[in-house]
Amino acid sequence: MIRAAVKIAYLGEHFSGSQMQPGVRTVAGDVLSDLERAAGLGGGDPRLRLASRTDKGVNALGNVAVFDSGVDDPAVLLRALNAVSEYVFYRGVALVGEGFNPRFADNRAYRYVIPSQGMDVGAMGACAEMFAGEHDFARFCRQDGRPTTLTMDAVTLREGDGVAVIDFSARYYLWNLIRRIAAAVMAVGKGDATLEEVRGALCGDDLSFGVARPDALTLMDVRYGGVEFAPAAGVSAGRVEEGMFRNRLRGMFLESL
């Protein structure tokens, strides 16, 4: 029996969030099902834990699932999981000890993508930069009792291919924090809000800029000091190719309208 930490990826459109919920499809539920089919756990408790919670519709390229497995070879485990999974991609694996807690990460990286056509990208970049450093984000989160002051290591915006991409780096985040920041950045880009208004909200003014859509948000990676993930060999190439072909068909249809 091993304790494995596995990098997982998924499109949020297929799930009602990452955490187990009765009666709906979730990431944790799919991982448990995949483990039962691929690793032959026979209904035993794999003590599954996820590094980061993602809401309904939010994507991930580098969330981490930790569980017990009777398959002792990590490479075989990844191949087996990718062979049976429908919507979760198993991208890398590391063996960890009993005391490893995936919630205690050194860094989490997120990305939010915004259409840039008709937007003041320069103003958006200036707005995004304001959120770097230590701030009280009380006006930019859904409060759940946790302290609202944290340090954002970096917030950067770049433009390319008709979109503006905001990259976030921090040890942890508050509920809806990134989507509320993205909403403020978009409001500035559209001219619906000023940099002074956003700065005022960051200083405690009673202002809200809404919550941006979930499907434009991706958890890019979760990192731990001293933990190296061995990449999977050919992550479900057939599923990836089929997904890209379906997207191309959809794009051709929409372009024809």
Q: Identify the segments of the chain with pLDDT beneath 70.
A: 39-43, 235
Residues 6+ apart with CB under 8 A from 92: 6, 7, 78, 229, 230, 231, 232
Q: What is the pLDDT of residue 166?
A: 98
Q: What is the pLDDT of residue 204?
A: 92
User: Any catalytic annotation for residue 55?
Assistant: yes
Q: What is the pLDDT of residue 144?
A: 87
- The closest of 223, 241, 230, 227 to 62, measured between CA atoms, is 223
Q: What is the pLDDT of residue 236?
A: 74
Helix then strand then coil, % of the chain, to nearest 5: 30, 30, 40
8 A C-beta contact, residue 30 and residue 50: no
3-state secondary structure of 74: helix
Q: What is the DSSP string of 222-245?
A: EE-TT--PEEPSSTTHHHHHHHHH
How does pLDDT run across 183-219, given as a tens digit for each residue? 999 999 999 999 999 999 999 999 999 999 999 999 9
Active-site hit among 30, 34, 55, 221: 55
Residues 6+ apart with CB under 8 A from 244: none
250 φ, ψ to 5°? -65, -40
Q: What is the pLDDT of residue 38?
A: 85
- The closest of 54, 30, 26 to 218, measured between CA atoms, is 54
Q: What is the pLDDT of residue 41?
A: 54
Q: What is the pLDDT of residue 40?
A: 63
How does pLDDT run across 157-175, given as a tens digit for each residue? 999 999 999 999 999 999 9
- The closest of 30, 29, 26 to 15, measured between CA atoms, is 26
